[in-house]
Structure 1
Amino acid sequence: MSWCRPSAEVAEAGRRITAEVVGVDLEKGRVRLSMAATENPELRAFLKRLNRGEILSGVVAAIERFGVFVALDDGPAHPVFPGVGFISFAELSWQRYEVVTDVVQVGQRISCEFLQFDTWNGEARLSLKGMRPDPLRTFTDRISVGEILSGQVTKLVPFGVFVQVADGIEGLVHLRELAWTTVEAPEDITRVGDRMPVVVTELDVERRRVTLSRRRATPRPG
C-alpha cells in the first residue's frame, strides 16, 4: 500500500492507482504490486541498483526488538524506518551474544555486506558478520571428527553443556555424553568456567552445529 497515506484513502473500489510490479506468482495467477514503490522513486532506484556482496557503510540509526536499522551514507532516507539499511539479529555476528549492544551501538559507524533488496519493506538487507571470515569454516578446515580437544564450559542447559573449543566456536556436549554413568543434570558433573577434554563427534557447517563428547575423551571405568 502507501507509506504516505492511510490505507482507507487508497483502498477504495474504483479508484485509479499507480503501482510497480514487484512479484509474479504464475501458479496462483497473481501479480504483486507496490504503491509505495511509485511514491518513493529515489529510494526504489537506489535499492534496485545494489548488487549482492556490495559493501555499504553507514551509521547505526536504531536498535529495535526485531533488528538493527542503518542510515546508509550513499542512500536516501526511508519514509518510515530510521534507516534504509536493516540487519537481522542472525546477521550481526558469527559468535553468540547476549544483547545487541554487545555487538553494535546506536551512532556507531559500520560497514556491511549487501544481501538483498527487501521489496516488501523497501529496505536493504545487510550482514555485519559477512564482513568477517566464518570461524566455523576455518575451524572445520583444520579439525576433524574424532579429534580430542580441551575447552571451557560456557553454559549449562537441561540437555547438556556448551563448551568453547576455539575462538568463536562452541559445541554441545549432550547429557548422555557427559559421563559413562547416567547423569541427571549437567551441574552434577561440571560448572561454567570449568575446562574439560572433549572428542569432536560431528561437524555440520550447514546447520552450524558442533557436537562433542566428554565421555569418549575419558577412560571407561572398570
Structure 2
Amino acid sequence: MGTFDAEGVYHPRPVVADDLDEATLEDAVVRSIVDFDDGDIVEGTVVKIDRDEVLLDIGFKSEGVIPARELSIRNDVDPYEVVSLGDRIEALVLQKEDKEGRLVLSKKRAQYERAWGTIEKIKEANGVVKGPVIEVVKGGLIVDIGLRGFLPASLVELRRVRELQPYVGRVIEAKIIELDRNRNNVVLSRRAWLEETQREQRGDFLANLKPGERRRGVVSSVVNFGAFVDLGGMDGLIHVSELSWKHVDHPSSVVQVGDEVEVEVLDVDLEKERISLSLKNTQVDPWQEFANTHHVGELVYGRITKLVPFGAFVQVGDGIEGLVHISEMAVHHVDLPEQVVQPGEELWVKIIDIDLQRRRISLSIKQAAEGGDVSAEYRDAFGEHAYDEQGNYIGYDYSTAEFTPETEAQAAWADYQPEVEGTTTADEGQSAEPSDD
C-alpha cells in the first residue's frame, strides 16, 4: 500500500526495484488482485472521504465505493465521524460492478453480518450486550450493538421511565430477550440485566439488614396500602399502619415521592426478598408520652370526636382519644350519649384508667365535676386561687366580682361548678351534681 502526506493525499507505493519473481508483469498483476463475489466481506484501507461517499482500497483494480448511507446503522451520519483516512475496515460487497463500473461496498452490512454471529452466540450463552443509545423511537430506544437493537421503554429501568431523551449517548448493558434474523428483529431488556446484576447484591444487602436497626432512605413510590422506600439498592415497604401513630386516611398525607426519611427495620424475609419498615417507630409514641405526663385521677381538657351507643370518644392529646363510658357521663341515668354531649363540644374529663399496652384511656365527665388535680399543661390558664396547697382544683369564688372566665377551658369548667346558692363546693368533700341541662 501507499502512504498519506500531511494534507491527507494518498500516494501509491513506488516500485524502486525489480522484485518480481513472475515471468511477466501481467502474471504479477493477476496474482495481486483479490478474488471475491457479491455478498463477501472484504477488508481495505480508507483512501478518500467525501460528504456522500468513502473510497476503500481493497487491492482490487479500482477502489471500492461506500455510499454514505451504507457507512453506519445510524441515520444521517457525517462520514468524517465514522471513518478516518488510513483506517482498516471491513465492508460487504454489494455489487462487484454497477452500471458505472464501480465496486459498491457497505460497511454497515459487514458490521451487521459480524454482529449477528456474535449476538446469536451471546443469546445462546444468556450473556449481555453493550452499546450506546443512538435514537429515541416510538415506544423505546435504539441501541447500537453492531446492529439496531430495540429497547422498549418499559424495560429501560426497574420502573417505568417517562423521559427517554436523556439516555441518548449513554452506553448501556442489556440482555437479549428476542432474536429473529429473518425479521431483522432484536429486542433488548436493560431491566433484566439490572435485576440479574442486583440479585447477588440484594442477597448480601438482606443478609446484613437486621430487624430493629434504623436506616435512611428515599420514598420511591406511594400506593394505597403504604409507601416504598429505597434503602440504597432495595426497596422496603412501610405499611399504612406503620406510617404514623395517628390515623392515616391515605399514605400520601404523610409522605411524598422523593422524601428522605428515617425508618426502622421490622422484618426481613430472605426467601421472598421483602423488607418491612416502620416510620412511626422512629417518632415519639404519643401514647407513651401521654402516659409519662399524666396519671389516673387527673383532669384534662378535650373535644368530643365521636358518639357511640356505649359512650363518647374524647380527644385529649395529639392523636390520643379516650372513651367516656355512658355510665360516666352524668350522675343521673343516661339513655343516649347525645343527651349529654355533642360532637365538637369541648369539656373537662377525669382520667380514671390508662391501659398503655392496649392503648386505651377511660375517662369520666361526672367525676370531673368533683374537681381534682388539673393536668400540668392547663394550670397556667388558671389563677393560683383555683388550687389548694396540694395542687387540687377547688373551683372559683363566684361571689367575687373579680372573677371572669378568661379562657375556653375556664368556661367549660364552669359548666360543672355549682350555680345555685347553697350548694357546697368540691373542696368541702362533696361533689356538685350538674343540672339536667
- Equivalent AA in structure 2 for residue 220 of structure 1: E
Counterpart Cα distance in 2 of 1:87 and 1:214: 38
Q: Alpha-carbon deviation of 1:179?
A: 2.1
Computing the radius of gyration from Cα coordinates, the structure with the larger value is 2
Structure 2 counterparts to residues 166-205 of structure 1, below 5 A: 166-205=317-356
Alpha carbons of 1:98 and 1:176: their partners in 2 closer, same or farther (altered >3 Å)?
Answer: farther
Q: Report the Cα distance in structure 1 between the residues aligned to 2:360 and 2:284, rounded to whole angstroms.
A: 17
Q: 2:433 corresponds to which residue?
A: 220
Alignment-derived partner of residue 252 in structure 2:
101
**2:228 corresponds to 1:69:** yes
Q: What secondary structure is seen at the aligned counterpart in 1 of 2:347? A: strand
| Structure 2 CA distance for partners of 1:177 and 1:44, relative to 1, 3 Å | farther
Residue 112 of structure 1 deviates from its aligned partner by 0.9
Q: Secondary structure at the match of 2:367?
A: helix
C-alpha contact 2:313 2:323 (8 A) present in aligned 1 = yes
Question: Which segments of 5 or more consecutive residues in structure 1 lack a partner in the other structure?
Answer: 1-38, 77-83
Alpha-carbon distance, 1:120 to partner: 5.5
Residue 51 of structure 1 deviates from its aligned partner by 2.5
Per-residue deviation at 1:85?
Answer: 0.7
Number of residues of Structure 1 aligned to a counterpart in Structure 2: 176
1:40 match: secondary structure? helix
Query: Which string of whole-angstrom CA distances, capped at 9 and with x for unpartnered residues, describes residues 39-89 of structure 1?
Result: 9332232122113332222232333343322222x223xxxxxxx211122
The whole-number CA distance in structure 2 between the counterparts of 1:65 and 1:120 is 25
Equivalent residues in 2 for 1:1-222 (5 A)?
40-72=199-231, 74-76=232-234, 84-119=235-270, 121-218=272-369, 219-220=432-433
Amino acid in the other structure paired with 1:171: G
Q: Which amino acid aligns with 2:208?
A: R
1:163, 1:183 → 2: CA distance?
Answer: 17
Ranges in structure 2 where 5+ consecutive residues have no aligned partner: 1-197, 370-431
Distance across 2 between alignment mates of 1:206 and 1:85: 27
CA drift at 1:221 = 5.5
Distance 1:61 1:157 in 2: 40
Deviations 1:104-147 (A, max 9, x none): 23343322111221346422211111111112112111211111
One-letter identity of the residue aligned with 2:251? V
Q: Provide the rounded CA distance (Å) in 2 between the counterparts of 1:220 and 1:208.
A: 31
In the TM superposition, residue 200 of structure 1 has moved relative to its aligned partner by: 0.8
| SS at structure 2 position matched to 1:215 | coil
Q: What amino acid maps onto 1:47 in structure 2?
A: L
Secondary structure of residue in 2 paired with 1:130: helix
Identity of aligned residues (%): 41
